[in-house]
Amino acid sequence: VENTSKVLLGTEAVGYTCGSSIERTAVEPVLIKASQEFKSMPVNIPDWLNI
């Protein structure tokens, strides 16, 4: 946000300004939730497998 604010204040351009991190922002909460759900899934580890 800070970097974007500097860019927007330093230009007279009118339109959409973004970078690759802004493109991913909307999916970050979904990915975090999916990762947490995957991590919490029960796993059947066979007795013969030494972990």
Structural domain harbouring 14: 2-39
> DSSP alpha helices (H): ranges in the chain?
2-9, 20-25, 28-39
Does some domain include residue 51? no
Total tally of structural domains belonging to the chain: 1
Nearest to 13 by CA among 25, 26, 4: 4
Q: What letter represents residue 26's amino acid?
A: A
Q: How many CB atoms lie under 10 A from the CB of residue 4?
A: 13
pLDDT at 29 over 60: yes
Reported as a single tens digit per residue, the pLDDT across 4-28 is 677 767 777 666 666 666 666 677 7
Does some domain include residue 45? no
Stated pTM of the model: 0.39
Does some domain include residue 27? yes
Does some domain include residue 26? yes
Does some domain include residue 10? yes
pLDDT value at position 24?
A: 61
Does some domain include residue 47? no
